[in-house]
Amino acid sequence: MGKTFFKCLGIFTLVIIIDQISKYLGRGLPTLHYNEGVIFGLYSDIPSALRIIALTSISGFIFFIYTVLIYMLSPRLAILKYGISLFIGGIFGNVIDRTLIGKSIDFIPFNIIPGIEITFNIADVFQWVGAGLILYKIISKEKIIWHPENQRGKLLLYSDEQVKFASKLTAIVVSCSLIFGIFSFTYFRTLLVEVGLLNQKYFITYLVAYIFLSLSFALVVFISGIVLSHRTVGPIFAFESFIDDLIEGVERGEFSLREGDNFRRLEKVATKIKTHLNSK
């Protein structure tokens, strides 16, 4: 993982810290407003427990996809990665509020249009800035993102090894999910017994939601494992093809890997091998 990856995580963390500090200071302002909805005040009539569970579960998916995305994107797209970090950090800033107190804290008024007043927070500002950077870079760096020359021909280059890697990664995630599932099941069952709210329908709802989320996340992890393994097996595949061409006497230029590939040392090894063969 390069410096850009950790810079992105730093931006993500800094956004959350700044947002939470601003909300702490904003609680004393007369413009303070609590937003109980999910997005722009929508779905405020949904039970708070359901909102919290839905938001935290979805946030887990978003964070996982975010880390994979900033790892896989080309190093030349650093600004795009920073924009994504701002956007996701802003989302998590509001998710933290809704998880801890069941509602988001807004304190910055916006009422340029007569009769319409909107109140937002610093996390929203980071989301807007991040979305703007993302949109700008997608348009300005369209060739880097979408051009066929930046794509490999096949996702499964060594299918057996890649599937094994993805399966092992998924097995680890499923095992962790099972441990947390047993813990949460035991905790909530004990809590419901203590407060006298033990009801079979609660456990059925929990079980269905747990199985659905676990299977969905396992699928996402497996696909991500295939994609991540491609970054590793790609250089090996390219190096193997280069050696085969040298053995068969096929004239080739210098061996070079794609931007962001692992095993960059293979370029030096290929150069040594080619130089040695040419000297004979």
Whole-number pLDDT of residue 42: 46
Residue 12 has pLDDT above 90, yes or no: yes
- Taking all residues of the chain, what is their mean pLDDT, rounded to a whole number? 79
Whole-number pLDDT of residue 38: 52
Mean pLDDT computed over 19-26: 90
Query: CA–CA separation, 256 vs 235, rounded Å?
Result: 9
* Structure tokens, 157: 């280059």
The DSSP symbol for 251 reads -
Residues of the chain with pLDDT > 70, as a percent, come to 80
Which has the higher per-residue pLDDT, 156 or 196?
Answer: 156
For residue 98, give the H/E element and its range.
Answer: helix 78-100
* Structure tokens, 270: 């290929």
Whole-number pLDDT of residue 48: 57
What are the pLDDT digits (tens) for 38-89? 554 444 444 555 556 666 777 777 888 888 888 878 777 889 999 999 999 9
Mean pLDDT computed over 146-170: 74
SS3 111: coil
Residue 152 has pLDDT above 60, yes or no: no
- Which are the catalytic amino acids? 106, 124
Whole-number pLDDT of residue 187: 74
> Residues 21, 92: contact at Cβ < 8 Å?
no
Residue 165 has pLDDT above 70, yes or no: yes
Query: CA–CA separation, 97 vs 56, rounded Å?
Result: 11
Query: CA–CA separation, 54 vs 40, rounded Å?
Result: 16
Taking Cα atoms as reference points, which of 262, 230, 224, 222 lies closest to residue 66?
A: 224
* Structure tokens, 268: 């030096």
Query: CA–CA separation, 129 vs 95, rounded Å?
Result: 18
Whole-number pLDDT of residue 43: 47
SS3 119: strand
Whole-number pLDDT of residue 117: 72
Query: CA–CA separation, 7 vs 78, rounded Å?
Result: 9
Q: How far apart are the first and last CA of the chain?
A: 39
% helix, strand, coil for the chain, step of 5: 70, 5, 25
> Residues 235, 263: contact at Cβ < 8 Å?
yes
Residue 142 has pLDDT above 60, yes or no: no
Query: CA–CA separation, 8 vs 3, rounded Å?
Result: 9
Mean pLDDT computed over 187-202: 69
**Most confident by average pLDDT, 96-100, 109-113, 171-175:** 171-175
Query: CA–CA separation, 42 vs 279, rounded Å?
Result: 72
What are the pLDDT digits (tens) for 209-246? 778 878 888 888 898 888 888 778 888 888 888 888 88
Whole-number pLDDT of residue 150: 45
Whole-number pLDDT of residue 130: 93
CA atoms within 13 A on the CB side of 250: 9
Q: At what angle do helices 265-278 and 200-248 cross, to 10 degrees?
A: 20
Whole-number pLDDT of residue 199: 66
Q: Which amino acid is at 231?
A: R
